[in-house]
Structure 1
Amino acid sequence: MSYLQTQLIPHVRKVQSLYKRALRNIEGFHHHRHIYRYNAVIIRNRFDENRNILDMRKAKQLLEEGEEELFKMQHYQPLKFPTSPGGTAYERATVPPDWVLDYWHPLEKAQYPEYFARREQRKKEYVDMWEKQYGKPDPKDHH
């Protein structure tokens, strides 16, 4: 779930995100490349005009105004990549989780002996790494 915010986002990243979303937004309005590029240059110029502002209060205010303007000018049907959330092919082909392999029948596992031997070795290494980092679980804690 890499889309969840787990830490503070620096001002520079917020500005970069606003710029990219603004470009994606005008991409939905202008299907001809030369018109899109013209508008992209105009947007880039607007960002470059305010590039050297050192007063963080002013920079934050400009960022908030830009977010509001983008919200007001957003496309009624924004472009989405097919495999992105909201896209037409999002989660179309699901990848089964790794633990499914633990429930294979031994005869099925016997067809791939090298793979399952390496997999068991890696599982043991992972448990050892976990216990080294966090300690062994206390058997009294299990109810």
Structure 2
Amino acid sequence: MAYLPSELLSHQQKVCRLYKRAARCIEDWIHKTPDRRYEAALLRERFDKNKDIKDFKYAKYLLEEGEKELFSKIHYQPISFPDSPTGVAYDRKSYVPDYVLDYWHPLEKAMYPKYFARREQMKDEYMKWYFETYPEEKKKIDDH
């Protein structure tokens, strides 16, 4: 299947994304904060130097050259955030349903008496609301 772009990016957006990727590349290579900030300032100076170019062909050429330069300097093992798709904790959040608390041991429930008392009260209120809203469900249960 062919790749269809979901959005069209303006030249300005492409330049901004290139700048961000280049700044992240600096973070991948340089770990000392003062050195990293210095390199980031030099990078920003390079981008600011060419921000007022009116010739679109030349601006596009500079963007392509910037992409090539970034590709040549990209880190072999870039830093990734833990929850990002390449991170170590990606998609590790598990959903624990509420009914699991019903299987707690009574001694465990005794450690949180107010919580479990309120929880039982809320469960009763929900059951009352449910059977008032759907009386046919109550009949089904009573028939069995």
TM-score, length-normalised on structure 1? 0.63
| Alignment match, 1:27 | 27
Runs of 4+, deviation exceeding 6 Å: none
Question: Structure 1 CA distance, aligned partners of 2:126 and 2:37?
Answer: 56
SS at match of 1:93: coil
Report the Cα offset of residue 92 of structure 1: 1.1
Matched residues in 1 for 2:40 and 2:17: separation? 15
Q: What's the % identity of the aligned pairs? A: 47
CA distance in structure 1 between the partners assigned to 2:59 and 2:95 by the alignment: 43
- The amino acid across from 1:80 in the alignment is S
Greater CA radius of gyration, 1 or 2? Answer: 2
**Corresponding residue number in structure 2 for 1:54:** 54
**Higher helix fraction (1 or 2):** 2
- The Cα shift of 1:90 comes to 0.9
Give distance in 2, aligned partners of 1:51 and 1:75. 26
RMSD: 2.7
What are the ranges of 5 or more consecutive residues in structure 1 without an aligned counterpart?
97-109, 118-143
Q: Distance in 2 between matches of 1:85 and 1:28?
A: 17
TM-score using structure 2 length:
0.63
CA distance in 1, matches of 2:95, 2:44: 39
Where structure 2 has 5 or more consecutive residues not aligned to the other structure, the ranges are 97-121, 131-144
1:6 to partner: Cα distance: 1.3
How far, CA to CA, are the matches of 1:27 and 1:87 in structure 2?
Answer: 16
| CA displacement, residues 79-101 of structure 1 (integer Å, 9 cap, x when unaligned) | 111111111111111569xxxxx
What CA distance in whole angstroms lies between the structure 2 residues aligned with 1:82 and 1:30?
20
Distance in 2 separating the partners of 1:15 and 1:40: 15
Distance 2:94 2:9 in 1: 31
Is 1:74 equivalent to 2:87 in the alignment? no
Summarize deviations over 1:14-71 as a string: whole Å, max 9, x none.
Answer: 1000000000001011110000001001100110110000111111111011011000
Aligned residues: 101
